[in-house]
Amino acid sequence: MVNAWIQAGAAPDAVIGHQAKPWNFAALGASRGRDAKHAHSLVVSSPDPGLADVLKRFDPGAVAYARAATGEAVDFKPATPATEADPVPPGGGALGVLLLSPLALSVAGSKPKRWHTRLDPAYLADALNARLSRLAGRPVDLQIQPDSLYLRANPEHSVLVPFKQDRQGRISYVIALSAPLVLAGAEADLRFAWHAGLGEKTRAGFGCLGLAEAGVGR
């Protein structure tokens, strides 16, 4: 992904590192057997005007990766780029969304870092608004509620996501969360959240949003 951004004209420090602009992505696909996974679509977005302009020049063929040690191979060269319509209602309101990639949210002040394993309304909106406000450089105030029926039917809604693997083959994991959400608030705040994604590690493929009515299969 970073390679594709840079080839399209983004400055390296705009997409990677502590000073990088906000952007996020989700790889959509399915499992084939116990270990094999297949991605059929890639969703990418950014609320930053400069990166949004670069995204128009994105070459899917630049999204490529191969690692002999694990047998991983990614090549989006056959992909056809498409732009999704902005779903944010004029004047603001509410959006029903799905997490196309799971939400990573760490417990405040935990050392070593621990991850939340439940979408608890008691802390969810405050934690996500704090991060969105930091990224936006202004206050963001959204109402964020997980789907109550989904939580009752799926009280265990955390997923263990492999994050990176060292040279010795040891894998680090992130505990992330997956559930439908309702976002409500001002138009500017909804639009920023839609394009920035929610939670932590969004540039590593967490917290990407899609419309609930569109589903995950797209």
The one-letter amino acid at 20: A
| Radius of gyration from C-alpha coordinates of the chain | 17
pLDDT band at 45; cut points 50, 70, 90: very high
DSSP state of 9: T
Residue type, 25: F
93-214 topology per CATH:
Alpha-Beta Plaits (3.30.70)
For residues 35-57, give the mean pLDDT. Answer: 90
Confidence of residue 179 (pLDDT cuts 50, 70, 90): very high
Residues with Cβ within 8 Å of 193's Cβ and at least 6 positions away in sequence, in order, are 128, 132, 140, 142, 183, 209
Q: In sequence order, which residues have a C-beta less than 8 Å from that of residue 63 and are 6 or more positions away?
A: 1, 3, 4, 42, 74, 75, 76, 79
- Window from 24-28, 33-37, 47-51, 173-177 with minimum mean pLDDT: 33-37
Q: What is the mean pLDDT of the chain?
A: 90
pTM for the full predicted model: 0.90
151-160 residue pLDDT tens: 999 998 998 8
What is the reported pLDDT for 57? 93
Q: Which residues contact 101 (CB under 8 A, 6 or more apart)?
A: 24, 25, 26, 27, 197, 205, 206, 207, 208
In residues, how long is the chain?
Answer: 218
| Domain boundaries for CATH 3.30.70.1900 within the chain | 93-214
Assign 162 a pLDDT band (cuts: 50, 70, 90).
confident
Under DSSP, the state recorded for 14 is H
The reported pLDDT for the residue numbered 216 is 62
Identity at 146, one-letter amino acid code: P
Measured from the Cβ of residue 112, the count of other Cβ atoms closer than 10 Å reads 4
Query: Tell me: the pLDDT tens digits for 113-141?
Result: 899 999 998 899 999 999 999 999 999 99
pLDDT of residue 35: 63
Q: What is the pLDDT of residue 74?
A: 85
Q: How confident is the model at residue 110 (pLDDT cuts 50, 70, 90)?
A: confident
The helix or strand, by DSSP H or E, that contains position 124, with its residue range, turns out to be helix 121-136
Q: Are 161 and 102 in contact (CB under 8 A)?
A: yes
